[in-house]
Amino acid sequence: MDDPQALDVAVIGGGPAGLMAAETLAGAGLSVSVYERMPSLGRRFLMAGRGGLNLTHSEPLAAFKTRYGPAGESLSAQLDAFTPDELRAWAEGLGQETFVGSSGRIFPRALKASPLLRAWLGRLDAAGVRFHLRHDWTGWSADGALRFATPAGEVEARPAATVLALGGASWPRLGANGAWAVTLGEAGAPLAPFAPANMGVLAKWSPAFSERFAGAPLKAVALTLGEQTVRGEAMVAAYGLEGGGVYALSGEFRRTLASAGQAQLFIDLRPDMRRGDLTSRLIGGRAGDSLSNRLRKMLKLSPVEIGLLREAFGADLPRSPVGLAQAIKALPVTVTGTAGLERAISSAGGLKFEGLDERLMVKARPGVFAAGEMLNWEAPTGGYLLQASFATGRAAAVGLIDWLNRQP
Angle between helices 384-405 and 16-27 (to 10 degrees): 40
Strands of 165-307, DSSP E = 191-197, 201-203, 217-225, 228-237, 240-242, 263-268
pTM to 2 decimals? 0.91
Q: What is the pLDDT of residue 287?
A: 62
Angle between helices 303-313 and 321-329 (to 10 degrees): 100
Q: What domains are there in the chain, each with its CATH number? A: 4-195+348-405 (3.50.50.60), 201-338 (no CATH)
**Which amino acid appears at position 281 of this protein?**
R
Nearest by Cα to 90 from 18, 24, 35, 15? 24
pLDDT in tens, the chain (408 residues): 444 445 799 999 999 999 999 999 999 999 999 999 999 999 989 988 887 899 999 999 999 999 998 899 999 999 999 999 999 999 999 999 999 998 899 999 999 999 999 999 999 999 999 999 999 999 999 999 999 999 999 999 999 999 999 999 998 888 889 999 999 999 999 999 999 999 999 999 999 999 999 999 999 999 999 999 999 999 999 999 999 999 999 999 999 999 999 999 999 999 999 999 999 988 876 666 788 888 888 889 999 999 999 999 998 999 889 999 999 999 999 999 999 998 899 999 999 999 999 999 999 999 999 999 999 999 999 999 999 999 999 999 999 999 999 998
Question: If you compute the radius of gyration of the chain from its CA atoms, what whole number of angstroms results?
Answer: 24
End-to-end CA, the chain: 7
- pLDDT recorded at residue 294: 82
Integer angstrom CA distances of residue 134 from 37, 41, 231: 4, 10, 42
Bridge partners of residue 350, in order along the sequence: 192
The pLDDT score that the predictor gives to residue 4 is 45
pLDDT of residue 285: 62
CB atoms within 10 A of CB 128: 12
Q: What sections of 28-154 are H helices per DSSP?
A: 43-49, 61-66, 72-81, 84-93, 114-126
